[in-house]
């Protein structure tokens, strides 16, 4: 699986970063500082809902 780090990452010293990977039926989310620690699997619908909540929170 190919993992992608957020383009909003604060750089090499950023301690709060996640990576995303496309799974056959959803999205994997993992801590970029603990790649051996496994990943959280969410459906595409759950991931879309998460993005919606984050966008609304960021806009105030």
Q: Locate 49 and state its tokens.
A: 């809902």
- pLDDT at position 7 over 90: no
Task: Using DSSP, state whether 42 is helix, strand or coil.
Answer: strand
Q: Is the pTM of this model over 0.85?
A: no
Instruction: Report d(CA 46, CA 56) in Å as an integer.
Output: 16
| Structure confidence by residue, pLDDT tens digits, 27-59 | 999 988 888 999 999 999 999 999 999 899 989
Annotated domain spans of the chain: 18-58
Q: Under 8 Å CB-to-CB from 33, ≥6 apart: which residues?
A: 15, 17
Q: Under 8 Å CB-to-CB from 4, ≥6 apart: which residues?
A: 19, 20, 21
């Amino acid at each position: 699986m190919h993992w992608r780090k957020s383009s909003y990452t604060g750089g090499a010293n950023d301690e709060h970063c996640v990576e995303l990977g496309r799974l056959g039926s959803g999205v994997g989310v993992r801590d970029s500082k603990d790649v051996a620690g496994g990943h959280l699997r969410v459906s595409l619908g759950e991931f879309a809902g998460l993005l919606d909540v984050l966008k609304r929170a960021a806009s105030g």
